[in-house]
Structure 1
Amino acid sequence: MYLRKVTNKEQAALFLDFPKQLHQTNPNYIQPLDKDVEAIFDENKNKCFLHGKCTRWLLFNDKQQVIGRIAAFVNYEYLQAQPTGGIGFFECIDSERAAHYMFDYCRFWLMQQGIEAMDGPINFGERMNWWGLLLEGFHSPLYGMNYNPPYYKRLFESYGFQVYFYQDCYSLSLREELPDKFYKIRDRIKSNDSYKVIPFCKKDLVEFAQDFTYIYNKSWQNHGEGKSIKEKEAVKLFKAMKDVLDEKTIWFTYHEGNPIACWLNLPDLNAHFKSLKGKFGPLEMLKFLWQRKFSPTRKLVGVLFGVVPEYQNKGIEAFMIVNALETIKSKTQYNNYEMQWVGDFNPKMVNFALNMGAQRTRQLATYRYLFDDTRSFYKHPTIS
């Protein structure tokens, strides 16, 4: 058993193809798009290389067959109590020996970078993609969501990883009414003309991206870890999503003309990507567009929800959702809604999801491993 660093196209192809081989008997598995995974490891596409480093390996058995893969990375803007790196894109046969061999290798590599702990499986990038180990809800994953067999939990925990925080997904039917209190809150705020809820418009993409930047940076400033986004990055993000987003499912709230909240949703892209087998060339793009037009998904996925601190606990969440759902219900084909994930460190959002009548449909976990076992382990701090 030995590890080889991915350094050429042939090895990169093996890195991409191994999960397909590992999960080939599981009908719920959906292979991520190759281009999305490769973008993580491309210094020209991933901004995290500006303040970090990343490498990845393949694990071979004595017959020179791939039996595992893993990546390790350091993001110096991932601010923690102790210098913390990450591991991700982990795939492995059901072997603690093989998994621990890769974990050891990553730990030693991270220690050489001055790191004292590692989180995993996480992404060398934002938390919205490739973050967390699936523990419950092994049905088909959402776009950008890690998917793994149940035995991965044993592989992590037998090494000594501990749960840093849980990530819960919640679902609800879009054809059912919200609890009465949501409508009462909406009516109360609606009587004040200074509050407006406005749907996203592609022709005003830059302006909405600027408003998103303000809301995101204000809303996530208390989450720690140096989370922020620049306007040019937000514009780039919205332009990248332009061809797949539905204008009627992205909403912004304003008070006296100032942005105070946003709710970003996307169609369930994996409903279409499943048949593409990880590829997205010209033919696959045509197939995707055909499916979107003639066989649109009935599922909507919540990507991000944020309210600036000054307007939290004032009913803005209910005001925006009730107004948005009136349009989503009457002018779109979506029947079901699933939130990407909500961390257990965010009790306000957990309670809000439950108050909406949503049910937990999946649970993932972000694990942490401290290199010095004499140090105390602490879970992710609760945000207020």
Structure 2
Amino acid sequence: MVATQASTYQIRAVTTPADQDLFLDVPTRVYANDPNWVPPLRSSTAKQFSPSNPFLQYGKLQPFIAVTQGAKGPEAVGRVVAAVNQRLIEREGQQIGLFGFFECIADFAIAQALLDAASDWLRQQGMTAVRGPIDLSTHNSCLWLVDGFDSPPMVMMPYNPAYYPEFAERLGWQKAKDAYAYNFPLDKPLPTEFEKAHRIACKSGVTFRPLRTKGEGFEQDCLSLYRLFTTAFAGNWSSTPRTQEEFLEEAKELQSLVDPDVFPIAEYNGEMIGFFMGLPDYNIPLKQVGGKLNWLGILKFLWYRRQINQGRVIAICSLPEYRRKMVPLALIYLGMSGGIQKGKPYQRAELSWVYEDNFPSCKLIEASGGKIYKTYRIYEKAL
């Protein structure tokens, strides 16, 4: 045990079901008084550590917890996961390890001990550098918020106390890359260039339709989306392609949440060549659920989903050879138009996240009226 200003604590590897329960309990303690926090679904976090997680086919991981002795038994006051993603190592050509799932009370010594434990484990695996926060892969939650703490996160976006990045920087972690979230009010029409781009794309033979959300049509569209994601985003920083199995599993989880009016697809000669991926902000009802989708949680979710009045644009994608046909601008026009049509509740959109050095996307979003309102960061450190 080690004594700190907050408590006496012990760092230990998660090895038992009881330890895993403590691991899953940490966020509730950290964010107990934070009105902007949206509890993640406990079952979704637990699933990441199941032996059936496809990540374990090409990676390995080790969770750690910081434990104190409370009045009713052991209590966890911090957690972290160290991970080795072999695909990322092969792609980048360096022994880069990852840390993620980090949560910690406002105690610098405990945060330091957790990050040290993750770093020590990664050294033992032969890693020479560590990067994070990345929850196993950038396709999962990653990044720490460093600016824009005054509002809740949108669906599938990270959130954290302001002291996380402060602690990391005190410990010598360096910025690896920043990413932005853009705020986009929907009370003004897009510049006329976007509608013109849609007309040009249509005249050049590109056709547009909503994503299909049911049956065989949904499955076919998901396979096409997987091929497009894998091709168009192959060069993304610190990222490796998901397996088809991983992608389709994620797609099925989102199937019932999709609004086809804000998820237009672009096709050329019957082949998908682009898409605009918008999602309603389901964090609004999830905030009321408390992290558990039991029968009461489901009832609360269905009740509060009626309050959704905003959405997140997760990706705008076009194969490079179709950009001259104005496909990206046309997709923005259709996606935003779908969100403001009569009967739709959306008052604003968030376009996120966009890396700071993705100049074409930043320029396009800013031209359409988006303004940066949150900044996120990934850190690195040599081991």
Partner residue in 2 for 1:264: 277
Deviates more, 1:258-267 or 1:327-336: 327-336
Q: Percent identity?
A: 26
Q: 1:229 to 1:16 in 2, by over 3 A?
A: closer
The change in CA–CA distance for 1:226 and 1:329 in structure 2 (over 3 A counts) is: closer
Stretches of structure 1 that go unaligned for 5 or more consecutive residues are 372-384
User: Cα–Cα, structure 1 residues 102 and 313, in superposed 2: closer, same or farther, change >3 Å?
Assistant: farther
Aligned-partner SS, 2:336? helix
Q: Which residue of 1 aligns with 2:140?
A: 129
Alignment of 1:15-164 (within 5 A): 15-44=23-52, 46-61=53-68, 65-78=75-88, 79-125=91-137, 127-138=138-149, 139-164=151-176
Correspondent of 1:349 among 355, 361, 374: 361
Q: Counterpart amino acid of 1:250?
A: F
CA distance, structure 2, for counterparts of residue 218 and residue 54 of structure 1: 28
Q: Deviations over 1:5-61 (max 9, x none)?
A: 2222322222122221122111111111101111111121x2111101111111124
**Whole-angstrom distance in 1 between the partners of 2:362 and 2:165:** 23
Contact in 2 for aligned 1:128/1:144 (Cα 8 Å): no
Output one character per residue of 1:178-208: Cα deviation in whole Å (capped at 9) or x when no partner: 122222222222323x111110112310111
Residues 129 and 233 of structure 1: CA distance in aligned 2, closer, same or farther (over 3 Å): closer
Aligned-residue Cα RMSD (Å) equals 1.9
TM-score, normalised via structure 2 length: 0.90
Distance 1:109 1:242 in 2: 38
Matched-pair contact (CA < 8 Å) for 1:205–1:238: no
Give the counterpart of 1:320 among 331, 337, 352: 331
Tell me the distance in 2 between the aligned counterparts of 1:227 and 1:313.
Answer: 27
The aligned residue for residue 227 of structure 1 is 240
1:366 aligns to 2:378 (yes or no): yes
Instruction: Give SS of 1:243's match.
Output: helix
Query: Partner letter of residue 60 of structure 2?
Result: K
Alpha-carbon distance, 1:109 to partner:
0.4
Number of equivalent positions: 366
Distance in 2 (alpha carbons) for counterparts of 1:67 and 1:278: 18
By how many angstroms is 1:327 displaced? 2.8
Residues 233/20 of structure 1: CA separation in 2 closer, same or farther (3 Å cut)? closer
CA shift for structure 1 position 71: 0.9
Which residue is 2:178 aligned to? 166
Decide whether the 8 Å contact of 1:254 with 1:261 is kept in 2. Answer: yes
Of stretches 58-67 and 128-137 in structure 1, the one that deviates more from structure 2 is: 58-67
Matching residue's letter, 1:118:
V
1:376 counterpart residue number:
none
Deviates more, 1:94-103 or 1:56-65: 56-65
Contact 2:22 2:75 in 1 (8 A): no
2 CA distance for matches of 1:277 and 1:323?
A: 35
Q: 1:230 to 1:73 in 2, by over 3 A?
A: closer
CA distance in 1 between counterparts of 2:62 and 2:246 reads: 24
Q: Corresponding residue for 1:309?
A: 320
Distance 1:16 1:144 in 2: 18
Structure 2 gap ranges (5+): 3-9
Identify which range, 140-149 or 58-67, moves more after superposition: 58-67
Partner secondary structure for residue 357 of structure 1: coil
- Partners of 1:235 and 1:367 in 2: how far apart? 30
Amino acid at match of 2:211: F
C-alpha distance after superposition, 1:192-250 (max 9, x if no partner): 3x111110112310111121022111101222656324444433332221122212221
Change (3 A) 1:233 1:101: closer
CA distance in structure 2 between the aligned counterparts of 1:83 and 1:309, rounded to whole angstroms: 32
Structure 1 runs (4+) greater than 6 angstroms displaced: none
Amino acid in structure 1 at the alignment position of 2:188: E
Cα pair distance change 1:324/1:90, threshold 3 Å: closer
Pairs within 5 Å for 1:206-285? 206-223=219-236, 225=238, 227-285=240-298
